[in-house]
Amino acid sequence: MIDQQVSLRGGATCLPVGPRTGRCLVLAAVFVCAACGLVYELELVALASYLIGDSVTQASVVLSVMVFAMGVGSLLAKRLCSHAAVGFGLIEAALALVGGTSALVLYASFAWIGESRYALVGFSLTIGILIGAEIPLLMTLIQRVDRQDAGGAVADLFAADYVGALVGGLAFPFLLLPMLGQLTGALFTGAINAAAGGALVLWVFRRDLTSRSRRLLILLNVAVIAVLAVATVLVDDFERAARRAVYGDGVRVAVQTEVQEVVLTGSGRSSLDLYLDGRLRVSARDEYRYHEALVHPAMNGPHASVLILGGGDGLAAREVLRYTDVRDVTVVELDQGVTRLARTDRALSELNGHAYRDPRLTAVTADAFNWLRTAHGGYDVVISDLPDPEISTSTKLYSAEFYGLVAEAIAPGGRLVVHGGPPVSRPRTFWTVEASMRAAGLRTRPYRISGRLSDSAAGPDRATHRAHSAHGWGFVLAGPGERPELGLALKTPALRSMTEPELVNAGRKMESVRLPGLPPSTLVHPRYWEER
């Protein structure tokens, strides 16, 4: 029995550490590599959601492709098990390089090519294969340092792997992203990955390496860490160059808030464009048409107390504050960074008519859905100026449940107005918004207005915004009691975008193209993805 135990553990005699120490070091490497691997996954999901949109779809693509690729990697790793040490060293160096630079390449493809979906799938596949190849090789290595039954070895490896994934998953949103950002955070993770993998192989298993493979791994790891270090030094220059490629040369402000990236371009009020997470939200060339059409039909009636959901840029508030008999305006905006710019940026504050200086306006930083659950209500007018419903993070703000909360906040005889998207290019989305409002007990009156966008508009979302403007913006006016009538409290020439007869005629046209029978969108059954 003693002779058998010695023979089983005999492989450990050529290692520079004892069996238990070697086992702990292998499990520590598993922990670090698992944490790095999950950071790569989360970084791809986060950046793809920002660049492409629709976080549900991007997360599904990344995770499904990566899990499939991990299975492929595990099968391919069988060929390397006879040379587990050098194979693991090569795989970790490749994973550090690919994972560490993935955010840079993905952002570069978006900035200079305009398409990042293929790069997303390519990185998900490559990173998944490399992660999948780790476990078979690590199983071989842990058995090399301290032989034990297969069940115990698997339990130890997966325990270290899952705990590492937990640490990496928590470190990404709470440490790496806020402290380093997506690009630098990925580069830093790659350097940690290379250092951990290289240290394990070149120290613990150095006697398993030939002199040639040892030199190869040293040079390879030094090269990978050097590339990541140089990229880290140049990342600010890269970001500036990429931002110019995306937004043009007119970028004045680019800040990463706790919620999103906010970019302002243009030299003054007349040329200002506002981008949120790479999508054009406000263009000074045509925003007045949108905001006049959003606000003024809803103000045709009692309007002493007004609630604006979203609209942190202050442009909807500007239109509301044109009414001298408005007593109070409450703006509920999720991103305090947007409201801060609306107060302090010269061009944006001029565009919103210095709305935040008006003592009647109160700004609240909160999620609109959660805020409404505790709101006291009694608002004559509620204006929903929120991101489009096709963005998956916003679908709850276009659900029947959300409109039920809004209905409770409206005073008797009050009105709600919602931007439902372009009714011509995405009719199912628009009429699903309307159906969801009716499901909450609201009586609806749809209408639309055409837009006009100057050819000088720039930025990554230019084509989409131009299409929306050309097809027109669709709105739904609603009330909890009688069906509201379309009309304007302010008459022309006070409004530049429409006259009351044009508004009434637009409402008639919308009724003629109604899509009947659409089910409402709910929290547990969101339906806006059906037209993406």
Handedness of CA 234, 235, 240, 246 (dihedral sign): positive
Which residue out of 156, 313, 385, 461 is catalytically annotated? 385
Q: Spell out the residues 6+ positions from residue 417 whose beta carbon is closer than 8 angstroms to its own.
A: 294, 295, 297, 298, 381, 382, 383, 384, 475, 476, 477, 478
- 388 given a catalytic annotation: no
Site of tokens 């999720």:
334
Check if the beta carbon of residue 414 is closer than 8 Å to that of residue 299. no
DSSP 362-390: EEEES-HHHHHHH----EEEEEEE---TT
3-state secondary structure of 313: coil
C-beta pairs of 524-532 under 8 Å, 24+ apart in sequence: 526/392, 526/395, 526/396, 526/399, 527/432, 528/389, 528/390, 528/395, 528/398, 528/429, 528/432, 529/54, 529/56, 529/57, 529/390, 529/392, 530/428, 531/390, 531/426, 531/428, 531/429, 532/54, 532/57, 532/390
Q: How far is CA 43 from CA 17, 47, 62, 127, 271, in A?
A: 36, 6, 10, 12, 34
| Ramachandran quadrant class, 459 (left: phi over 0; alpha: psi -120 to 50; beta: rest) | left
User: Residue 66 and residue 44: Cα distance in Å, rounded?
Assistant: 11
The number of CA neighbours under 13 Å toward the Cβ of 146 is 17
DSSP 175-242: IIHHHHHHHHHHHHHHHHHHHHHHHIIIIITGGGS-HHHHHHHHHHHHHHHHHHHHHHHHHHHHHHHH
User: Residue 435 and residue 433: Cα distance in Å, rounded?
Assistant: 5
Pairing assessment for the beta strands 361-365 and 328-333 based on DSSP bridges: parallel
Q: How far is CA 364 from CA 256, 335, 398, in A?
A: 20, 10, 20
- Helices and strands in the chain, H and E counts: 17, 11
**Residue 254 carries which DSSP code?**
E
Q: What H or E segment, with its residue span, contains residue 407?
A: helix 400-409
3-class SS shares of the chain: helix, strand, coil, % to 5: 60, 15, 25
Closest by Cα among 371, 341, 170 to 261:
341
Q: Which residues carry out catalysis? A: 385
